[in-house]
Structure 1
Amino acid sequence: MKPRVLASMFALGAALSVSQPALSAGNDVSDGHRYFIRYCASCHGLDGLGDGPVAKSLSTPPTSLRKLGDKYGVPLPAHRMAEMIDGRDTPRAHGTREMPVWGERLYELGQGERGEYGIGEVIGKIIAYLNTIQDRRMAVR
């Protein structure tokens, strides 16, 4: 990924996280939303639709994260989601690994803690948030 695009993503994430209303601490979904805004929204959009401000500069459009449940079921399989977020399994659509692989940074934020299935605390919270934004018209497994 081009350094200028990556720098823009960090700047946008920082600005968005500051401008968001404070969410209740201690709630995994609220914490996950905060991390999502900081690390994911610049590409995937504030609502997870794949329409973030950086999306237009990417050769492959970001995925709509609201439709993950269509493919993987609800609740989302935490281990599978973690593999995509931390880079163990970069989606083919990203080809040249255009998607930033946040694993190292997110595990660092969680003080290196890895819970069930090797999922870090921060990634687990992002997944908890992603579960709340799935299109509810799909079948829940």
Structure 2
Amino acid sequence: MALGIALTLALPALAAGDDVADGHRYFVRYCASCHGTDALGDGPVAKSLATPPANLRKLGDKYGMPLPAHRIAELIDGRDTARAHGSHEMPVWGEKLYELGQGERGEYGIGEVIGKIIAYLDTIQDRRTAMR
């Protein structure tokens, strides 16, 4: 619930280009090892995982466009949902981000990072197939 409040506070700034650029940097740092630099699910760690990472360019097919930030944030954060990612292999990023120092500003800091990643993900959706 606290993440939802923090994400809501961070959302008005998500449209800014700087947030997308920051989100890309966070994505490369935290997500690309599994999901790949192009978010296709083909990162260098992917082959060693029992459950293949998702192709994140197709989130719009499943969740609609624009991406529902609150729902995607819950999946990334993972603290409030048991096995939110469908597998125990994906880290619960809400905890990991806190450990990595993003929690120094409390839930707002974690929500801001996750919100920026979502802003970036929204820009890379395969819009040829994603529902609108």
Length-normalised TM-score, structure 2? 0.76
Name 1:16's counterpart in structure 2: none
Q: Shift of residue 134 of structure 1?
A: 0.2
Deviation at 1:139, TM superposition (A): 4.7
Letter in 2 for 1:69: G
In structure 1, how many angstroms separate the alpha carbons of the residues matched to 2:130 and 2:75?
22
Partner of 1:67: 58
Question: 1:48-63 alignment to 2 at 5 Å?
Answer: 48-63=39-54
Aligned to 1:76: 67
Matched, 1:109 2:102: yes
Unaligned runs of 5+ in 2: 1-16
Q: Which amino acid aligns with 1:48?
A: A
Matches within 5 A, 1:1-141: 27-87=18-78, 88-89=80-81, 90-92=84-86, 94=87, 97-106=88-97, 108-109=101-102, 111-114=105-108, 120-141=111-132
Could you state the TM-score of these two structures normalised by the residue count of structure 1? 0.71
- Secondary structure of the residue aligned to 1:69 is helix
* Alignment: residue pair count: 111
Moved over 2 A (4+): 104-108, 138-141
Aligned equivalents of 1:139 and 1:45: distance in 2?
20
Alignment gaps of 5+ in structure 1:
1-25
Higher RCO (C-alpha under 8 Å, 6+ residues apart): 2
Partner Cα distance (2:85, 2:107) in 1: 24
User: 1:88-121 CA distances to partner (integer Å, 9 max, x unpaired)?
Assistant: 33132x1xx1101111233541622439xxx711
Secondary structure of 2:92 counterpart? coil
Return the letter of the residue paired with 2:108: R
Question: What is the identity, as a one-letter code, of the residue corresponding to 1:47?
Answer: D
Distance of 1:67 and 1:130 partners within structure 2: 10
Q: Please say if residues 106 and 123 of structure 1, whose CA atoms lie closer than 8 Å, have aligned partners that are also in contact.
A: no
Measure, in 1, the Cα distance between the counterparts of 2:130 and 2:20. 21
Q: Percent identity?
A: 76
Check the 8 A contact 1:50/1:61 in 2, yes or no.
yes
CA root-mean-square deviation? 2.2
